């Protein structure tokens, strides 16, 4: 009898050890997984840099690329010091109660303050750091989305201020509200945006729109009748390669939006805590590209830039429901998304007369909102989150109504303040000459002969740009004379 008891006791001890080992293995598996999603997501930023630099004219290449690089320099510390805390503690709209010290705040919120045990070396915590890093990469992405829209006339420093605000406060606030299992939009309305159509892309697009209103178009973009001209990017191949790198990085982005629960079926949870699989979302993203390319190609009549941008728009259009959509549904919806991006981009440029240099507002903003809208139609009734609150068209609409002003207004207000102090846009002389010469005092293709810069007229005719830009410069310079005098006085 004593022998039997000893054996049972030994078995229980071994089972307990095994359970502890499985739990540790599960945590380390998650740690490794998220670490490598971060590595893959770096490609998004390599891609954004190439994409935007290719779309810039030769005279603005490095000033364009430098924005993407320095996004990392400003968003990383600001997200560490403020952004992650907002995500952890603002789920109910405002900060959680009991903030006398981090040790007094229980749960995830208590691990997000920069001095807490979740934000530094901690042998007992394998997850906090990698979750933070994955979200940090999402934050860089929001900044890079805005970056492309503003190129060739925004000041680098103005962009850095704006991207700090967007990447470390605005988007992460909406993520706390509608992209977490405890967010008020999730728990009250079943808001469903599983792979961040709106919370990353739509919000960044709306913020960029607010900035563009104050920033104004590039010199010469519109003629005296308000018709749009087109600037030729210096290297479309580089732009397309950049987009392909972004697409590669998106697989890491999608994967990082899931949680591993290796001890329970089916092993994966979306950001709200609902079951899904990695394969399901990989299906949707791949069909999203297929449909988006198709839609972009036909809507733009085969334009290479819009065909690839259509792929991005297609994926963004189906991201919100990526955990529940059938691949065929994703194919159909993403085709419509690719078309919508082309049409809305043309409308924004020609009718709204907003100069978005890469179509970011259309691709990310419009299609981000469209993606959440589609979930309300095609996945209404699907249970969202730990409490299985049904997603609905009304819930999706409330999310859209909450997030548009949350994104647009900060972008508009802060860019207005920067504009008031003449810190938003480069001087017109510098814009005409090219930003690289003022910022870096050099041409970045020193061994290649310059040829006259060209511009495409509203009629489609491509002509030399110099007379047109000089004429437009004269108009702009007249309008800005007062600003310049004030600035010169201040400098003296």
Partner 1 sequence: MIDSFPFDEFSENLTSFWTFGPEDSTGTYILTALGVILMVVALIGWVWLENRKLWAQAELLRAAGGMPAPGGVPPGPGPSQPPLAGPATDPGD
**Contacts with partner 1, residue ranges (CB under 8 A):** 57-59, 70, 73-74, 77-78, 80-81, 114-115, 117, 120-122, 155-158, 160-161, 164, 423, 426-427, 429-430, 432-434, 437-439, 443, 446, 448-453, 464-467, 469-470, 473-474, 487-488, 491
A 10 A CB-CB count for 352 gives: 14
Number of residues that this document lists for the chain:
492
Least distance between partner 1 and beta carbon 206 (Å) = 23
Least distance between partner 1 and beta carbon 415 (Å) = 14
Q: Is 167 helix (H, G, I), strand (E, B) or coil?
A: helix
Distance CA(49)–CA(123), nearest Å, equals 36
Nearer to partner 1, 83 or 310 (CB): 83
For residue 314, what are its two tokens?
């297609």
Least distance between partner 1 and beta carbon 106 (Å) = 17
Nearer to partner 1, 163 or 392 (CB): 163
Nearer to partner 1, 220 or 338 (CB): 220
Distance CA(484)–CA(490), nearest Å, equals 10
Nearer to partner 1, 364 or 425 (CB): 425
Nearer to partner 1, 252 or 428 (CB): 428
Least distance between partner 1 and beta carbon 70 (Å) = 8
Nearer to partner 1, 17 or 464 (CB): 464
Q: Is 130 helix (H, G, I), strand (E, B) or coil?
A: helix
Least distance between partner 1 and beta carbon 145 (Å) = 20
- 125 Cβ contact partners less than 8 Å away, ≥ 6 residues apart: 111, 117, 118
Distance CA(163)–CA(157), nearest Å, equals 10
Least distance between partner 1 and beta carbon 87 (Å) = 18
Least distance between partner 1 and beta carbon 108 (Å) = 18
Least distance between partner 1 and beta carbon 101 (Å) = 9
Q: Give the residue from 43, 67, 51 showing the smallest Cα distance to 243.
A: 51
User: What would the 3-class secondary structure string for 75-103 be?
Assistant: HHHHHHHHHHHHHHHCCCCCCCCCCCCHH
- Could you list the beta-strand ranges (E) of 123-243: 230-231
Nearer to partner 1, 381 or 446 (CB): 446
Q: 194, 321 in Cβ contact below 8 A?
A: yes
Q: Give the residue from 419, 224, 194 showing the smallest Cα distance to 325.
A: 194
Least distance between partner 1 and beta carbon 228 (Å) = 18
Q: 423, 171 in Cβ contact below 8 A?
A: no
CA dihedral (190, 176, 193, 297) in degrees, to 10, reads: 160
Q: Is 422 helix (H, G, I), strand (E, B) or coil?
A: coil
Backbone angles phi, psi at 424, to 5 degrees: -90, -40
Nearer to partner 1, 55 or 255 (CB): 55
Nearer to partner 1, 5 or 449 (CB): 449
């Amino acid at each position: 009898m004593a022998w039997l008891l000893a054996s049972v006791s030994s078995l229980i001890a071994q089972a307990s050890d095994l359970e502890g080992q499985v739990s540790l293995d599960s945590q380390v598996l998650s740690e490794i997984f998220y670490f490598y999603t971060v590595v893959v997501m770096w490609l998004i930023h390599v891609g954004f840099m190439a994409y935007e630099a290719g779309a810039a004219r030769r005279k603005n290449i490095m000033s364009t690329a430098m924005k993407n690089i320095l996004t990392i320099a400003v968003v990383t510390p600001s997200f560490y010091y403020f952004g992650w805390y907002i995500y952890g503690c603002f789920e109910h709209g405002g900060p959680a109660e009991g903030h006398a010290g981090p040790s007094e705040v229980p749960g995830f919120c208590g691990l997000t303050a920069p001095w807490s045990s979740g934000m530094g070396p901690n042998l007992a915590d394998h997850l906090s750091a990698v979750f933070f890093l994955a979200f940090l990469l999402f934050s860089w992405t929001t900044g890079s989305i805005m970056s492309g829209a503003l190129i060739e006339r925004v000041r680098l420093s103005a962009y850095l201020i704006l991207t700090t605000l967007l990447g470390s406060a605005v988007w992460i606030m909406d993520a706390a509200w509608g992209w977490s299992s405890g967010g008020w939009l999730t728990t009250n309305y079943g808001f469903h945006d599983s792979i961040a159509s709106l919370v990353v892309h739509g919000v960044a697009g709306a913020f960029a729109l607010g900035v563009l209103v104050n920033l104004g178009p590039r010199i010469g973009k519109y003629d005296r009748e308000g018709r749009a001209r087109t600037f030729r990017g210096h290297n479309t191949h580089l732009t397309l390669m950049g987009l392909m790198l972004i697409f590669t990085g998106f697989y890491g982005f999608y994967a990082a939006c899931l949680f591993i629960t290796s001890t329970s079926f089916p092993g994966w949870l979306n950001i709200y805590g609902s079951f899904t699989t990695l394969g399901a979302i990989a299906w949707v993203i791949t069909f999203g590209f297929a449909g988006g390319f198709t839609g972009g190609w036909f809507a733009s009549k085969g334009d290479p830039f819009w065909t690839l941008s259509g792929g991005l728009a297609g994926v963004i259009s189906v991201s919100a429901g990526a955990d529940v959509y059938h691949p065929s549904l994703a194919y159909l919806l993403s085709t419509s998304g690719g078309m919508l991006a082309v049409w809305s981009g043309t409308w924004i440029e020609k009718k709204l007369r907003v100069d978005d240099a890469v179509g970011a507002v259309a691709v990310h903003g419009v299609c981000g909102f469209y993606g959440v809208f589609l979930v309300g139609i095609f996945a209404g009734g699907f249970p969202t989150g730990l409490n299985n609150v049904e997603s609905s068209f009304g819930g999706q609409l409330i999310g859209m109504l909450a997030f548009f002003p949350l994104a647009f207004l900060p972008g508009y207000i802060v860019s207005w303040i920067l504009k008031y102090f003449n810190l938003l846009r480069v001087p017109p002389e510098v814009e005409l000459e090219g930003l690289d010469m003022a910022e870096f005092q050099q041409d970045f293709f020193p061994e290649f002969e310059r040829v006259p810069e060209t511009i495409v007229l509203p009629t489609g005719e491509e002509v030399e740009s110099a007379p047109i830009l000089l004429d437009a410069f004269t108009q702009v310079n007249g309008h800005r004379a007062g600003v310049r005098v004030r600035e010169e006085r201040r400098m003296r």
